[in-house]
Each structure stands twice: as structure tokens, then as C-alpha cells.
């Protein structure tokens, strides 16, 4: 039996998405920037996909810009947002994805910004009072993710948006883990930038988008042709974009059903893990404050912690893991280190999808207990 429980890293391509992409690959190969018939056909498909994405987010099509994925979208929002508005202060959390952390750290090293870190608690929750304190004195750029990719802890981005609006801060939110799992209504959210990577919601790799609120005007990060309304040079990935639009459409169509199924799988996994002595959970696990696709657990100390993941892999079980960063090394999870998880305990992130079954959970628990000698 082969079990895939690493859906926070990437998800399998949905069969409907594959069919959509195959049709496009077979019939629509023109360059959307060309003015002849083949080009116009590609342009029509591109704009149809843009309207689909925009409609689901309650955005205007002119606010959606296609990218190569989440990392490019994060970099564009951060680098161009800070540069275009001359912002000298940025705020983030030490639990953010490296696409955000490393980008902001680079800008700080280059002397372009002063970087502050908002306080977080032992479960990865953002201290909103401290956030307000940090941005009260000067115009700032705030980058906080909706759901942590390792812990699953959700941030109240509505509250963050309200705080940012009060103090004139630009708010960038990495929604890579929640796009397609929760509805995002940009008419209600006070956010300037949202991010999507299609492969996190059963779409193709190498495709994503950046939502930029129409009130925000930034310079492009990638220069070239006039593609994406002069915001992102380079011929658009028509096949990937069509697949992403289809994947997001399916995700919104079946969201309630998938939420119920995956939450049930996560709750069942947690119950089964609790039968293993010494297991604890990292991040929020309450359904109201935790991403339903992610469960992070720490296991008792063991001499060769890496062997736990190795043994699961040998058994055909794919998961992500690692302990907190050890002192003096860069190996391990910066997220677990930031919330104070012991570096001596192996941790595993189990992440689920609409395809995950209880039988797969049962098999995983059996193999885990064997590996742990329980």
C-alpha cells in the first residue's frame, strides 16, 4: 500500500483538471500576445480563466495577475510593494514561509527596510496587539500568512486587515495553503495582496496568481513584454492557467463537501495518534482555529529521529517532518524552533486531501507504531 500524506507540499492533479489541460494542449497553442487567429484564441482562453479566478474571489479581472507560482507572487508583492511606495519598515512573523522570510531578510540586509517580528505564542498565533504597536508609528508593510504551512494555525486576517487599514499599512497575505479550502472575498477583506499556487489545490505546478487590490499601483518585478498588463513580462503559461482556473472552480464548487471529509480524516488521525504514548501536537488543533488539511505531531525522543521518517518512507508512506532547528545549525524546522518545540523530538506534518481515506490512516498508524516499537 502507498499512502500520500504530504498534501501541504503538493497535491495530486485532479482528473477534471487534467482533462481540461489536455484539451487546451491539443487545441490552443497560440501566443496570447499575437494578433492573428491562433493568438486571439489563446488570449480569449487566458481572459476567460482570469474572469473565473476573479469571480470566485469577488475581484475584478484587472486585479488578477498570473505568475509561475506562490514564490514569485510573494516576491512581487513584497519587493515591488515596498519599493513602489518607498516603505522603510516591514513586519512579519518568524513562522512565515521562506518565500516571505528570506525575501524580507534580503531587503533588510540590503538596507532597504527595517524588519520587525510580531510576537507569536506557543501555538503560532499572532499577537494582534503587538502588531498594532509595531505599525502605529510609521507606514509599514505587513506580511502575514492565512494558515501556517507546517502547523496549520490560522490567523484572523480580517482582524489583521482592520489593523493595517487603521494605520495605513500595506497588507500582503500568503494564502497558498488556504486558497481553494476557504472562501476569500476581497470585497470584504481589507487586504492588498493575496497569493495562490495551483499545485496546492489539485492544479498544475508552475502556475499561480497574485491578487493586487485596484487601489495599489506597483512596478513589475519581472520586466519584459507587455504581458499581464505590463505587470509581468513573459509569455503566459496558457495550459497551466487554464488548469488552475479549473482547479479553483472545482475547489469552490465542492468546498463544503471536501471540508467535511478532510476535517473528519484529520480528527480521526488525531484520535489514533493519541493512542501512542508521549505524542503531542504542535500548533492549533481546534477546528475553528486550525487549517483542516494539516496536523503536526511530535513524538517521544529517540536516538535516530531521522529513522522515523525513513521507516515510514520504506513502508510507502509519504510525509514531511523534522525537529526544531538545533542550536548552531540550520537543519530542521524554523517554524517549530520559533514556537519553542524541543529539537530532541522528531516531528511529523501529516497533511490531507479530498483523496485521503481512513484505510490509509489506519495503515499509517500501524507502521508508525512498528517504527516506534509501541
Cα three-residue angle 274-3-177, rounded to 5 degrees? 75
Helix 255-273, helix 358-372: angle, nearest 10: 30
Q: Name the residue among 312, 309, 318, 310 with its Cα closest to residue 353.
A: 318
Q: Residue 38 phi/psi, 5° resolution?
A: -65, -40
Within 10 angstroms of residue 136's Cβ, the number of other Cβ atoms is 12
- Distances in Å between the alpha carbon of 70 and those of 8, 65, 256? 13, 12, 24
Cα separation, 183 vs 7, whole angstroms: 19
* Residues 6 or more apart whose Cβ sits within 8 Å of residue 43: 32, 33
Radius of gyration of the chain from Cα atoms? 21
**What gap in Å lies between CA 250 and CA 253, rounded to an integer?**
5
What is each CA distance from 350 to 25, 168, 296, 312, 361, in whole angstroms? 34, 38, 6, 12, 10
Name the one residue in this structure whose C-alpha cell is 494555525: 153
Distance CA 13, CA 366 (A): 28
139: Cβ contacts below 8 Å, ≥ 6 apart: 85, 87, 89, 167, 168, 169
How many residues would you count in the chain? 374
Q: How far apart are CA 176 and CA 69, in angstroms?
A: 9
Catalytic residues: 325
Give the angle subtended at the CA of 165 by the CAs of 128 and 141, to the nearest 5°. 75
Amino acid at each position: 500500500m502507498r499512502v500520500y500524506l504530504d498534501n501541504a507540499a503538493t497535491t495530486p492533479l485532479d482528473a477534471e483538471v487534467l482533462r481540461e489541460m489536455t484539451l487546451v494542449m491539443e487545441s490552443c497553442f497560440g501566443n496570447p500576445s499575437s494578433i492573428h487567429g491562433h493568438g486571439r484564441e489563446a488570449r480569449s482562453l487566458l481572459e476567460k480563466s482570469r474572469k473565473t479566478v476573479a469571480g470566485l474571489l469577488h475581484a475584478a479581472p484587472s486585479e488578477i495577475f498570473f505568475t509561475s507560482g506562490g514564490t514569485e507572487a510573494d516576491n512581487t508583492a513584497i519587493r515591488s510593494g515596498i519599493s513602489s511606495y518607498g516603505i522603510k519598515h516591514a513586519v512579519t512573523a518568524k513562522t512565515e514561509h521562506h518565500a516571505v522570510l528570506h525575501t524580507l531578510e534580503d531587503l533588510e540586509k540590503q538596507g532597504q527596510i527595517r524588519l520587525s517580528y510580531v510576537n507569536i505564542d506557543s501555538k503560532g498565533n499572532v499577537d494582534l496587539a503587538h502588531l498594532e504597536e509595531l505599525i502605529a508609528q510609521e507606514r509599514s508593510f505587513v506580511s502575514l500568512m492565512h494558515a501556517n504551512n507546517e502547523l496549520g494555525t490560522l490567523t484572523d486576517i480580517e482582524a489583521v486587515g482592520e489593523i493595517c487599514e487603521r494605520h495605513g499599512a500595506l497588507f500582503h497575505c500568503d494564502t497558498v495553503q488556504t486558497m481553494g479550502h476557504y472562501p476569500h472575498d476581497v470585497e470584504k477583506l481589507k487586504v492588498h495582496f493575496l497569493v495562490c499556487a495551483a499545485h496546492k489545490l489539485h492544479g498544475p505546478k508552475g502556475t499561480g496568481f497574485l491578487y493586487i487590490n485596484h487601489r495599489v499601483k506597483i512596478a513589475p518585478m519581472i520586466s519584459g513584454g507587455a504581458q499581464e498588463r505590463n505587470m509581468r513580462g513573459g509569455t503566459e503559461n496558457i495550459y497551466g492557467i487554464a488548469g488552475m482556473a479549473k482547479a479553483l472552480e472545482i475547489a469552490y464548487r465542492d468546498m463544503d463537501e471536501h471540508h467535511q471529509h478532510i476535517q473528519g480524516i484529520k480528527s480521526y488521525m488525531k484520535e489514533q495518534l493519541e493512542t501512542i504514548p508521549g505524542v503531542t501536537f504542535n500548533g492549533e488543533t481546534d477546528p475553528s482555529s486550525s487549517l483542516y488539511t494539516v496536523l503536526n505531531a511530535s513524538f517521544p525522543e529517540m536516538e535516530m529521529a531521522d529513522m522515523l521518517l525513513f521507516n515510514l518512507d520504506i513502508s510507502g508512506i509519504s510525509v514531511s517532518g523534522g525537529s526544531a532547528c538545533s542550536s548552531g545549525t540550520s537543519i530542521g524546522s524554523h517554524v517549530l524552533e520559533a514556537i519553542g518545540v524541543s529539537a530532541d523530538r522528531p516531528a511529523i506534518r501529516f497533511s490531507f486531501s479530498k483523496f485521503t481515506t481512513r484505510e490509509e490512516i489506519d495503515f499509517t498508524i500501524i507502521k508508525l507504531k512498528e517504527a516506534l516499537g509501541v
